[in-house]
Structure 1
Amino acid sequence: MNKRNIVLLMVAIGVIASVAYMLTSADDQEVYFESVERERDKQFKFLRYSPESPLDDEQKKDLNTLTYYPTDANYRVRAKLEPVEDRKMIEIPMTDGTVEKYIKHSYAVFDLQGKTVKLLLLQAKDESDMRNFFLAFADETSGAETYGGGRYLNLRQDGKNSVLIDFNLAYNPYCAYNPEFACPLPPKENLLDVAITAGEKDYEK
């Protein structure tokens, strides 16, 4: 085989590899988008049909859909976990003026929209699995397009020193649907000066 044929063969292999990569990436993205839709469908069915739903019977009958931002993979980030030096029990204010105790566990650090973001991860005092975290946050959309009291994410540590945060799965607290429920407010560390245009929007009554 002469040099020209070798070069053409290498180019052909490169093109095939690139196409295969793009197809694989597209397939992976489609699978990811479908997984987000499944989680959102679970949330809708819980609110619409579960006896544990914060919606009353009239609200359940009127609920046809939940409103979300379009799924955006840029809001799915890998965050580095930084342990809190003074890990201790802290009191988190609730929407009804009471407080609830959580363990101040770790910080999740990542880049978003050209900024370094550092969020405080909490752990319920009776949590049996030390890899599970609770994240309550508010951002520039809060009180406008999203619920003013912030939104939540349930996280699970899936790396030695990291955790995957997917804001596309951010959901409203119960008090967004029914003010009779008391919900934890985001700690001051989690009041973001960026707009998280991902996840669930405010509930329209």
Structure 2
Amino acid sequence: MNTKNLFWAFVALVIAASLLYTFTGTEDPEYYRSTIEAERERQWKFLKYNIDSPLKEEQKEDLDSLDFYPIDPDYKIRARLEPVADRRILEIPMTDGSVERYIRHSFANFELQGQQVKLLLLQAEDETDLRNFFLAFADKTSGEETYGGGRYINVRQDGQSSLTIDFNLAYNPYCAYNPDYACPIPPRENILEIPIRAGEKNYDK
């Protein structure tokens, strides 16, 4: 094959790969891993250096790293959105006994570990972007491998009636680092009977 034909064969390969990614959602594994690692690094730097970090100064000095499960692409799932029939304001209990108001917006339906899962998506009352949701959940690792009060994921609707939930991005609430903070407790709909070994583990003081 001459140089010209080799060039056009390469171009055709690149186009085919681009189309495959567009129509199947295929993602380069290394790019995915580096994206998750970059977010974890950003999270660590925020806790370590940011003035708004929940950590006390002595905690910041001692914080060399955060503890995460290994990145597992199987925990990045597509979920079908199901609107809540009685969409209303829900008062979510906080760890200090107070309540915080959220809109009881939609359910995310998907399969994980061979089980059908249905999680309640909440939306802040003052949320200006109506495609953004707050997901608070607890699972079989809570209180042992992960924080007992559950973990959070910020999710965004990226389809007409679907969204992506990536448990590799699950993070601890502020109260996991500092009990002076009050954090929303996961609603009963989001207490999972399966272990979610993805995302951030318990904070080691």
Relative to the length of structure 2, the TM-score reads 0.87
| Distance verdict in 2 for CA 1:106–1:200, change over 3 Å | same
1:91 aligned to 2:122?
no
Matched with 1:33 is 33
Question: Which amino acid in 2 is paired with 1:112?
Answer: L
Matched with 2:203 is 203
1:126 aligned to 2:126?
yes
Listed one character per residue, the Cα deviations across residues 134-167 of structure 1 (whole Å, up to 9, x for unaligned) are 0000000000000000000001100100010000
d(CA) in 2 for partners of 1:188, 1:126: 23
Q: CA deviation at 1:173?
A: 0.0
Q: CA deviation at 1:26?
A: 10
- Listed as ranges, the matches of 1:106-125 within 5 Å are 106-125=106-125
Q: CA deviation at 1:198?
A: 0.2
| Distance verdict in 2 for CA 1:83–1:181, change over 3 Å | same
Q: Taking every aligned residue pair, what percent have the same amino acid on both sides?
A: 64
CA RMSD of aligned residues (A): 1.7
Q: CA deviation at 1:62?
A: 0.3
Q: CA deviation at 1:121?
A: 0.1
- Listed as ranges, the matches of 1:1-205 within 5 Å are 28-205=28-205
Question: Which amino acid in 1 is paired with 2:87?
Answer: R
Unaligned runs of 5+ in 1: 1-16
d(CA) in 2 for partners of 1:129, 1:140: 32
Runs of 4+ in 1 over 2 A off after TM superposition: 24-27
d(CA) in 2 for partners of 1:125, 1:27: 34
SS of the residue corresponding to residue 28 of structure 2 reads helix
d(CA) in 2 for partners of 1:47, 1:143: 22
Aligned length: 185
Listed one character per residue, the Cα deviations across residues 40-80 of structure 1 (whole Å, up to 9, x for unaligned) are 00000000000000001100000000000000000000000
Q: CA deviation at 1:27?
A: 7.6
Question: Which amino acid in 2 is paired with 1:108?
Answer: A
Relative to the length of structure 1, the TM-score reads 0.87
d(CA) in 2 for partners of 1:52, 1:83: 35
Listed one character per residue, the Cα deviations across residues 70-97 of structure 1 (whole Å, up to 9, x for unaligned) are 0000000000000001000010000001
SS of the residue corresponding to residue 106 of structure 1 reads strand
Unaligned runs of 5+ in 2: 1-12
Instruction: Give the greater-gyration-radius structure (CA).
Output: 1
